[in-house]
Structure 1
């Protein structure tokens, strides 16, 4: 099933499907506010297949898309909490992400990625906090990400426009009042992540959020098949579509930065972020899993 654009913004943003471009061109387009979609990457399918193996192991005979209907929220959290951790920390996951980077023409000696996350969004308000948190509209920069970061997002199973990803192109170059000044990445790592599995009824963690109403007149949503990959900038305002599809959404996302762009301060617009700290200490070099040089990380702190 091809990607379906539900509503197109009017800010001059371009949408590219399966562009034949270098990784440098990918970043240039994303830094300009465009969106790229890849529907034909075998490496992405391999990552999805591995995620499905892990999901099948923990849910057994239950259909994971409907499993929430057969258990309490507490039982569900006990299953998916360890599942998410196992996927993120698996050496196999890292190798598969490196495969995607290679297929996208990245030089692994000059490119860094953060460990991928398995996101699980249940339907009909069954679980909307903690390990099932449905992210409100936000820029990743509000969470301490650099403007040189690009994101790759792909569903593990087919999704619809009722449980996918939403973008708000109107705000690419438009400031939004937000609470990013209250966000500390250091505190998030030390406190917020550890709290996730205990946040069942409500999410008390300090997520940076818009503090003004977001205009949804140009909201963009995607409907796509498993392993079809959406690429976008950390500066794009985006969020999780409230899941009204009748089944749980499983998706994967990971992030990439290039050494040269970090060194040269070349990236997307930086317009309304006041968060403290940086995510760059989490990134791993594609070739050997080494860290980003300390002098570069410190510049972003």
Structure 2
């Protein structure tokens, strides 16, 4: 199947989701709701670096100091009430039914030069599917460039393996063990990253395609798409944010791309919040999707355990 990129912005949310499940990647032009959240993110980043230009701060800071800034900044953005409110406005703007759409809290990415930091809080993702991280088959991924040249330091897709299995390490990933240790410990890793990130086998990622939009644009794609980080080999940072959504009807009906190769355990669906009320999914719906996760793990990650220097 050819790799399909669409810029159609007026589709219903239902039609767009079905197209995403068929492998289409949507690249939507900037709109006011997305710019509002991008501006909020950039303001938080700028404040965190306290007068330094966040695009070049890594040139002057010791990497440990830089990581310390990110260790406070990233969860502050992710769990800020305003982030959730702005994300809800984006979903409304895109035509989602916010009584049935659930989102995972947004993640802020500040990616400096790869030779400076590519582990832990600056992790450069190898080719992977989000389903390998115990995500549901119907997960929709959304990615927004905020600042920096996304063409040379953003993300890329590996379309040769859409709907086709690829050798991978997802059997080593358990969502509840990840919650217990790996999410908590990210800031500890500066020069290496031993966490069990699922990834495609060496040399197994196939071709790479970059879909680039300007600041404030948004990419929408399936969590089953094989994708990776483009290592930042420039001398300035890249800032972006991303989030994930699911429609409860799709989750209950098990709609989405076929799981061709994920062997991860547990489930990430407990992380999702209803877009209008910020309530979690009902327990009976969660139980339908729980996949034999570790009995010793943590079902829901508590950001209070993060170590902030």
TM-score, normalized by length of structure 2? 0.91
1:108 alignment partner, SS class: coil
Partner residue, 1:95: 85
- The answer on whether the counterparts of 1:159 and 1:224 sit within 8 Å (CA) in structure 2 is no
Query: Equivalents in 1 of 2:147, 2:92: separation in Å?
Result: 23
Equivalence map 1:121-140=2 (5 Å): 121-140=111-130
Partner residue, 1:104: 94
Partner residue, 1:275: 264
Residue 212 of structure 1, CA deviation: 4.2
* Coordinate RMSD, CA, aligned: 1.2
Query: Equivalents in 1 of 2:279, 2:114: separation in Å?
Result: 41
- The answer on whether the counterparts of 2:153 and 2:233 sit within 8 Å (CA) in structure 1 is yes
Q: Mean Cα displacement is larger for which, 272-281 or 200-209?
A: 200-209
Query: Equivalents in 1 of 2:191, 2:39: separation in Å?
Result: 31
- The answer on whether the counterparts of 2:145 and 2:241 sit within 8 Å (CA) in structure 1 is yes
- The answer on whether the counterparts of 1:167 and 1:220 sit within 8 Å (CA) in structure 2 is yes
- The answer on whether the counterparts of 2:127 and 2:205 sit within 8 Å (CA) in structure 1 is no
Deviation string 1:61-118 (CA, Å, 9 cap, x unpaired) is: 2111110001110010111110001000100000000001001111111110010000
1:221 alignment partner, SS class: coil
Partner residue, 2:176: 186
TM-score, normalized by length of structure 1? 0.94
Query: Equivalents in 2 of 1:225, 1:81: separation in Å?
Result: 27
Partner residue, 1:250: 239
Structure 2: which 5+ runs fail to align?
291-309
Q: Does 1:156 align with 2:146?
A: yes
Structure 1: which 5+ runs fail to align?
1-10
- The answer on whether the counterparts of 1:158 and 1:225 sit within 8 Å (CA) in structure 2 is no
Which of 48, 62, 66 lines up with 1:58 in the alignment? 48
The 1:158/1:226 distance shift into structure 2, 3 A limit, reads: farther
The 1:158/1:18 distance shift into structure 2, 3 A limit, reads: farther
Q: Does 1:48 align with 2:54?
A: no
Partner residue, 1:6: none
Which of 260, 277, 286 lines up with 1:297 in the alignment? 286
- The answer on whether the counterparts of 1:18 and 1:40 sit within 8 Å (CA) in structure 2 is no
1:153 alignment partner, SS class: strand
2:280 alignment partner, SS class: coil
Which of 146, 161, 171 lines up with 2:136 in the alignment? 146
The total of aligned residue pairs comes to: 290
Query: Equivalents in 1 of 2:18, 2:24: separation in Å?
Result: 9
Which of 142, 146, 163 lines up with 1:173 in the alignment? 163
Q: Does 1:19 align with 2:21?
A: no
Partner residue, 1:240: 229
- The answer on whether the counterparts of 1:18 and 1:39 sit within 8 Å (CA) in structure 2 is no
Query: Equivalents in 2 of 1:231, 1:105: separation in Å?
Result: 14
Deviation string 1:156-210 (CA, Å, 9 cap, x unpaired) is: 1142321011001110021111111110000111100111011111111111111
Partner residue, 1:81: 71
- The answer on whether the counterparts of 1:158 and 1:224 sit within 8 Å (CA) in structure 2 is no
2:105 alignment partner, SS class: coil
Residue 215 of structure 1, CA deviation: 4.5
Which of 203, 207, 219 lines up with 1:230 in the alignment? 219
